[in-house]
């Protein structure tokens, strides 16, 4: 079992929902980013999504785009992102890490080389938002063969005809995008999410985790109550962008995690 799979198995056995947090690697700088990352498990985070900065993040809203720009301007690269994971693993060998980003930097590195480096660094899964299921041979299949989970996104526009294709090679968990559009947009509504989560769960045994549009502990709780957990990204990145101390950022994360865990 991967760290992702064992974490969700444990949470299910405990009857608890998962809280997943996203941060951008290197935002606003490597030291601050790593300090936040190291503090996330203690704040109640079950799975860490680590953004890989990219110059053309088409699925991201302004908050995440700006975070990526700050990271890139600070000199963040794929190699430095992998080193950040290695540094995290020196103090935490249990918390799953999912790298989230775009295919171009991986393609440029070479898939086999990247997967070997990701495995060695301690990455457990990938979310690559610009690789559709039709391109599974590019990265998804090799990643799974290398022991990494490949997590796919389902959206409100993923209809019953498309859903089996999305699910066919997905592992670890399914990430359901609660709203149409980009990250950091409208607020998620549990009443809208619940039937969609049920529809996906009828087709897979994988946990379904809901992200996009979650900014408060109350929303975190309401969304987690109708899914297997929730993801918060833009709200946390906004706290980082505001220049708040690491302790304050982690306190905010803890409030969101407590919301999800109380569901």
Active-site residue among 46, 60, 124, 228?
60
Q: Which helix (H) or strand (E) holds 186?
A: none
CB 50 within 8 A of CB 96: no
Alpha helices in 129-189 (DSSP H): 140-145, 163-167
Strand, helix or coil for residue 107 = helix
Concerning whether 56 is annotated as a catalytic residue, the answer is no
For residue 72, what are the β-bridge partners?
Answer: none
How many residues are present in the chain? 263
In this structure, the number of other CB atoms found within 10 A of the CB of residue 172 comes to: 27
Active-site residue among 5, 49, 124, 196?
49
Distance CA 90, CA 139 (A): 27
CB 16 within 8 A of CB 29: no
Concerning whether 160 is annotated as a catalytic residue, the answer is no
Catalytic residue positions? Answer: 49, 60
């Amino acid at each position: 079992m991967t760290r992702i799979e064992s974490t969700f198995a444990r949470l299910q056995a405990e009857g608890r929902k998962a809280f997943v947090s996203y941060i951008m690697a290197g935002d606003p700088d490597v030291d601050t980013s790593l300090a936040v990352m190291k503090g996330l498990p203690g704040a109640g985070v079950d799975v860490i999504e680590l953004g890989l900065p990219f110059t053309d993040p088409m699925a991201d809203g302004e908050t995440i785009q700006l975070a990526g720009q700050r990271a890139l301007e600070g000199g963040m690269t794929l190699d430095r992102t992998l080193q950040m994971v290695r540094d995290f693993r020196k103090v935490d060998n249990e918390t799953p890490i999912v790298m989230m980003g775009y295919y171009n930097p991986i393609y440029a590195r070479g898939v086999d080389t990247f997967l070997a480096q990701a495995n060695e660094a301690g990455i457990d899964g990938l979310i690559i938002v610009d690789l559709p299921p039709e391109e599974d041979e590019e990265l998804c299949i090799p990643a799974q063969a290398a022991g990494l989970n490949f997590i796919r996104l389902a959206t409100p526009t993923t209809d019953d005809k498309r859903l089996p294709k999305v699910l066919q090679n997905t592992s670890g968990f399914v990430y359901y995008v609660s709203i149409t559009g980009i990250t950091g947009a409208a607020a998620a509504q549990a009443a809208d999410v619940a039937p969609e989560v049920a529809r996906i769960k009828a087709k897979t045994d994988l946990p379904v985790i809901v992200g996009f549009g979650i900014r408060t502990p109350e929303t975190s709780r309401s969304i987690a109550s109708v899914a297997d957990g929730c993801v918060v990204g833009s709200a946390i990145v906004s706290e980082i962008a505001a220049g708040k101390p690491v302790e304050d950022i982690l306190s905010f994360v803890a409030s969101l995690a407590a919301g999800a865990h109380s569901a």
